[in-house]
Amino acid sequence: MKYLLVYYGGGTPEGEEEQAAVMKAWTEWFTELGPAVTDPGNPFSGKVASVGSEGAVEDGPVGEAASGYSLLEAETLEDASEKAKGCPVIAGGGRVAAQAAARLQRA
């Protein structure tokens, strides 16, 4: 089953040395997860707008702004959550939410 990992917080590395260390941590984590990673995703820019049911557009998120995402395959929500524990965002003081993608039946 596919799971969306949504990242919150974690900070931005400063300087080339810190950026290299963070990239190394991401590479090692993705390598550890192997083929479970179906889309490594991207960090978010911080620019966000929300659209309400009446079509009104407002600056800012619905709730807390996310800092990035990845998609992975896992057997269960518990399995996805265990895989998420190694995420570098957590080591940087952030959090990760794992959410299952519903399987839709196609006609």
User: pLDDT tens digits, residue range 60-103?
Assistant: 888 889 999 999 999 999 999 999 999 999 998 999 999 999 87
Please tell me the predicted confidence (pLDDT) of residue 12: 78
CB 72 within 8 A of CB 83: yes
Please tell me the predicted confidence (pLDDT) of residue 106: 75
Regarding pTM above 0.85, the answer is yes
**From CA 60, how far away is CA 50, in angstroms rounded?**
6
